[in-house]
Amino acid sequence: MLKRWRKLLFTCGLVFCMVGFCDAQSDTLLQQANRQYTLKAYGRAIELYTQWLAESPGKLMAEQRIMAQANLAHCYKLMGDLKKAERAYQELTATTELTGAQIESYLQYAQTLAGNGKYSESQVLFDKYKKLKEKTVEAERSPFLDSATGIIGKKTPTRYRLEVLALNTSNAEFSPMYYRDGLVFVSGKKASAAIETAGKGGGGSYLDLFYVQDRQQLKASQIISADGTVTKPVQARNRKERRAGNNQRSRASANDSRTIGGYDGGINISDGLRLSKGIQPFSRSINSRYHEGPVTFFSDGYQMVFTRNNYDGRRVRQSTEGVTNLKLYTASQQNGTWVNIEELPFNSNDYSVGHPALSKDDRLLFFASDMPGGVGGTDLYVSRNENGKWTKPVNLGKEINTKGNDLFPFIDERGNLYFASDGRKGLGGLDIFYVPLVDGAFAGPVEHLDAPINSDLDDFGMVTDGNRKGGYFSTNRQKGNDDIFRFVRESSLYGCRNLTLRFYDEVTKQPVDSVVVDIKARGEGRKDRTMVTRKDGLVQLCLESNNDFIFRASKDSYVTNTVGFSTNSLTDDSPSRLEIALNQPPKIVDTVHYIPLQPNDGWDIVDSQKGRVRGTVMSEKDRKPIEGVTVNLKNDCDGVIRQIVTGVDGRYEFELTEGCDYTLSASKERYGTNTSRIKKLTSRATSKVLSADLNMLRVGDIVQLDNIYYDLDKWTIRADASHELDKLVATMQKYPLLTVELRSHTDSRGDAVYNRYLSAQRANSVVSYLASKGISRKRMVAAGYGESLLLNNCANEVDCTEAEHQRNRRTEFKVLSIK
């Protein structure tokens, strides 16, 4: 009954088709595809994966199919064929919810969509990836974040110092924007106005644009420290201000500024923009008797997009409901005057459009609008500049927009989006949120900025740099008026320290890849993490502040190295770098032993008082002599090398000099070089003839491991098998470039399909045992052959003894490559 149940379970669709389950040809094809993928031969890998997926649709285990489809899609992405990559990722995720390591494919898919210009779809995938990643590693609740995020350790709140600017009045001052060395902002009497007053913050009747020529000269009336302490600023002596239009300075360009619109010089002041000490109206040609609101500038500083009531310079227009909405207008500067004021094509009399924000390259315009079809009250939209024309706006979607009001966007020079919202969980009213970008697409989820940037009232209209070192924002936390605050960051932005570890070979100075780095942090609840170096030998981390770390680096054929690093008292965001050398241990070689001279052993009788070493070079597989082996004996005293090529009997013999160590090596093409050490002979030695039979492994050799037994129907390595496996560990250590296939076999009793499954599990157990002893898994392939390769005639229905069946229950290794 049990046998019939197993047969049903393991034959219906081959549900458990694991290593060795599928037919040999299909399995080989998949192995070839994986090997080409590992070797970065992506074109060949695409061919093999495509063929394998097409030829075995009904025989694939879900895990195999997912892995193959994910690798195929990644190959297309790495080859730059994003359309085919998108189609492959779509097929991968259409019917399967990815889990475990495969959730990285959601990130790859999102990046591919972004590369194809599908930003809304990309954003959905980024958000899904982030949620799954957080669920997997318990992100914020865990002492460690996953290595894909680059953060190691608990995230600590970012500390900011706030400065209440002296330019604030009893009116509303809000929505600061960088312009050259100065600051343009909105000011006016508080009143109700569309968009600006969504929430409580922003708005005035009537609002105009004002300008401060040098924002560095802005004085503070109060300073709010990171701990909430409020103090008066220390008044410094006045410094002589720079004269506007200094002819000794060359015209600035887009290369002179680190922030959007922050360009200085290059403007001839006449009618429009009047610069002097203090605060001035921005431009008579822009400011009107109606609302002028938030503004943004093109990177050249000579074009702008600004918010204004629906006013064409002659009369105000209203919607069908009698509401005067807001619109976006462009203007360009000529001889110091802002002219050519034009509406943007997506304005409407029936809804408001405002709060513009331009990307660094001027190609993307973000704005807020209450146009029909949105998610909430006001949503954020984006339009693309194509050949000088703005495309139809696209809603940023539910991942950004909420059922409340989302407005006041700003894009820093890195392309990261800041905006205000009252539809998300925050501290109260409008709060400022942040969305980072990855490969040009939003990589949600949306992050809430820490206090004191946000408060229990309205906070909005932030401008800052790409590292958020400092900037300005609007708030009504003092007396209910909209005011402009300056902020300065006083701690690490991410609550962690960027650290790059580079591992290199001490002798060659070349980077070492595939180094396993175990990371330990001091403190309760800190979990260990493991990362692996890339091809360039690098590991990049972001470490928890105010803590100590230990890095343990290990790799097969290298001595394990341990180093420490501390982030105590580090408050800046400057990255750190550690260069760590790895040493290879002395090569493991056999030591030749002295033996007494034995007569009649087939060798010529020699003078026993003369030192000699002699032996036979044999195959490790069958212990037969090998002809044509080059045997070298190097005298370590003088470096002299003597050489013999073996004949059909595989024998060699050398004379030795007392008092010198020797290195003995045997080599032949397609065989692994066998090296032994011969310790110095002394005059007191009773016998001076040394025996050094040398066994050699050849590519293709299959060597049986004796005494590898398993309990019935089990695949766990028993204690009595470990001694034999330790011999294989020593062999793998002696030949650092040896790669093997670990092959497990069963006898013919039992179901054939189940036997292949059982043998595959046993082969995997052997690989895991060797890996636990420091042997790289990259050097081993597990294969279960079940009863398919019997050594005798004990097949089904054949009456055999237990000893005959035992001969078939074996574990062996096959040499795949060796040097």
Instruction: Say whether pLDDT at 39 is over 70.
Output: no
Rounded mean pLDDT, 31-58: 76
What is the reported pLDDT for 810? Answer: 84
Query: When comparing pLDDT for 604 and 699, which is higher?
Result: 699
Mean pLDDT of 172-179: 94
Q: Are 800 and 790 in contact (CB under 8 A)?
A: no
What's the confidence (pLDDT) of residue 136?
58
More confident residue, 175 or 140: 175
* 619 φ/ψ sector (left φ>0, alpha ψ -120 to 50, else beta): beta
Lowest mean pLDDT among 24-28, 491-495, 545-549, 562-566: 24-28
Long-range pairs for 517-520: beta carbons < 8 A, 24 or more residues apart? 517/551, 517/552, 517/553, 518/551, 518/552, 518/553, 518/554, 519/152, 519/549, 519/550, 519/551, 520/549, 520/550, 520/551, 520/552
Q: DSSP for 5-36?
A: HHHHHHHSTTTT--TTTS-HHHHHHHHHHHHH
Integer Cα distance of 432 and 453 in angstroms: 8
- pLDDT band at 200, cuts 50/70/90? very low
The Cβ-side half-sphere exposure at 215, using a 13 Å CA radius, reads: 24
pLDDT in tens, 659-698: 888 888 888 888 888 888 888 877 666 667 777 888 888 8
Neighbours of 225 (CB within 10 A): 14
pLDDT surpassing 80 at residue 791: yes
Q: Do residues 320 and 350 touch, judged by C-beta distance below 8 A?
A: yes
- The answer to whether residue 242 scores a pLDDT higher than 60 is no
**The pair of three-digit structure tokens given for residue 117, joined into one six-digit string:** 């210009």
Residues 522-572 pLDDT 10s: 776 567 788 888 888 988 888 877 778 889 898 877 878 888 888 776 656
Q: How far is CA 331 from CA 278, 303, 307, in A?
A: 25, 6, 11
pLDDT tens string 408-453: 999 998 888 999 998 888 888 899 999 876 555 666 678 889 888 9
Q: Which two tokens stand for residue 209?
A: 């644009």
Contacts of 586 (CB under 8 A, 6+ apart): none
Is the pLDDT score of 311 beyond 70?
yes
Cα–Cα distance, 423 to 561 (Å, whole number) = 51
Residue 496 has pLDDT above 80, yes or no: no
Report pLDDT for 609: 58
Q: What is the mean pLDDT of the chain?
A: 77
CATH numbers and ranges of domains, the chain: 23-137 (1.25.40.10), 160-234+255-489 (2.120.10.30), 496-582 (2.60.40.1120), 590-696 (2.60.40.10), 702-817 (3.30.1330.60)
Mean pLDDT of 299-312: 87
Residue type, position 602, single letter: G
Q: In sequence order, what are the residues at sequence separation of 6 or more whose Cβ sits closer than 8 angstroms to the Cβ of residue 388?
A: none
- Smallest CA-to-CA distance from 783 within 737, 738, 753, 814 is with 814
Residue-wise pLDDT tens digits, 144-154:
333 333 455 55
Vertex 30 angle, CA 24 and 31, to 5°: 85
364 band by pLDDT with thresholds 50, 70 and 90: very high
38: confidence class by pLDDT, cuts 50, 70, 90: low
